[in-house]
Amino acid sequence: MNRAKKYFLNALLLSCVTVIMRAVSVSFNAYVTQKIGSEAVGLFTLVMSVYTFAITLATSGINLAAVRLTAQRLALCEEKGADEQTLRKALRREMAGCVLYSLFFGVFASLLLFTLSDVIGTFLLADQRTIPSLKLLSFALTPISLSSALTGYFTGLRKIYKNAIISIGEQFVKITVTCAALMTIAPKGIEYACLAVVGGSCVSEAASLLFSFLLFITDKNKTGGTVKAIQKNRKSSLTRAAEIAFPIALGSYVRQGLLCAEHIAIPAGLRRFGSGGSGALSSYGTLHAMAFPLIFFPSSVIGAFASLLIPELTECAELGKHGQVKRIAEKVVRFSLIFSFGCAGVFLAFGRDMGISVYSSPQAGKYVCAFAPLVPVMYLDTAVDSVLKGLGKQLYCMKVNILDSILSLVLVLILVPRLGTWGYVICVYVAELVNATLSIGKMILETRIRISPSVILRPLFAILVSTTAVRIFTSYFEAFDSSFTEIILTAVIYSALIIPKATFLTQKSYKREKTQFTP
């Protein structure tokens, strides 16, 4: 199987699994929301803002380090013609350092969160109901850190099916345990409802580590080489892992700290705007636990393809294949925009219906429509960040993300107390546009690609035609007047308009490349 076909099949597998998992997650979130109410969801989201920072500390950039080190070692062994046993030893040496690194930071983060839970819940979150959940979540941090290293290993080897198995198993355990906990302890109050959801997450993280470890120790790598030994790197595997991961981690600490402060400031700002305590938590929960999961649901496809670009681009950069890097970047931009404009049109046309259908919340649907025009920017930024990380520009991404977070926090402090939730919508727009502009500009400088206006105008025109046609059609035929049917019809028409043109451009590009680079 050639490299391009293997990449496509891996990406397709990861996309399908991620979409299914996201669909299950959104459905499960809808069930949890109806079961415990928007205020409890807001409280849980507030707890998760601190937990996310703790996860950042626990993982400390190890996933990217494992991906890059594994991909680099695999490329070197294949180039030198290493046999199976030599390749296995080389990969295990790289992972030994990654595991030690993740173990240290995982244990440290667990102890820190458990120790500071009372202080964080009482003074930082200003809600003592969060303390039991924070203490329970601290036990999940070490498994998360170790799992992050192991999934990075599988990504670096392009064994995406193993990450898919891990995700499916983790989600199954999470839903099973959470549902059981909701039925037993959630009726006791909001604090216990939050604790039930948190408990499911903790057990699922432990299960994820178990699945990852079993797949790792049974992993085998076939090779046609015969070389019995490959020269070892002078630096230890722990040092190499730290050199990649820790600079990223430092930036991630700053960014997640700012994000955590931003999430804490949003309910506080809403209270100053005039919402009561429960009203502020409800609005916050509607935004972050209902609207955003819907907005980012399709991004799992972009995320799947983009995450697999990191080892591909790392190998191309390592071997000096600059022409191939440019071609990959051009295709990333083209197909990211085609996909994201289609999603944006669907959200804008049918977002209100989605909010009602999924969450029985017109307000959630209103926020989906509000963020719809920003979807192409957000999705493209995700793909561009993966391109830059694959080229070793993770420190630049870190700086841009820190700037994004600082800007977001400042705008939240200024606008939310004055404009409420719509002030936060403005904050997201400004921060995302700044972030994407800086990231895309850097990618253009590094890869020397050109972005034609037609790459934007064609999908924009196609989605406008598609949504308009569907609206007119369903107004005459009431039998098709349902949000699900309208979305399917829009997707079919949009695909018919855009895919033949995209395929033609890809074939034309391929012929030009073949003519240019064939001796």
Residue 139: exposed, middle, or buried by beta-carbon count in 10 A (0-12, 13-18, 19+)?
middle
Which residue shows structure tokens 């400042």? 410
Instruction: Summarize pLDDT for 488-510 with one digit per residue, the tens.
Output: 999 999 999 987 655 544 444 44
Pick the residue with more confidence: 109 or 290?
109
Picking from 228, 231, 233, the residue whose alpha carbon sits closest to that of residue 83 is 228
Instruction: Summarize pLDDT for 246-262 with one digit per residue, the tens.
Output: 988 988 899 889 988 98
Measured between alpha carbons, how far is 138 from 49 in angstroms, rounded to an integer?
A: 13
What's the predicted TM-score (pTM) here? 0.74
Contact status, residue 68 vs residue 150, Cβ threshold 8 Å = no
Q: Which residues contact 499 (CB under 8 A, 6 or more apart)?
A: none
pLDDT at 511 over 50: no
CA 369 to chain centre: 21
Measured between alpha carbons, how far is 100 from 122 in angstroms, rounded to an integer?
A: 34
pLDDT computed for residue 509 by the predictor: 47
Q: Which residues contact 89 (CB under 8 A, 6 or more apart)?
A: none
Contact status, residue 37 vs residue 187, Cβ threshold 8 Å = no
pLDDT at 473 over 60: yes
Exposure string of 357-378, with b = 16+ CB inside 10 Å and e = fewer, is ebbebebbbbbbbbbbebbbbb
For the chain, give the mean pLDDT: 86
Half-sphere exposure of 424 (CA within 13 A, CB side): 22
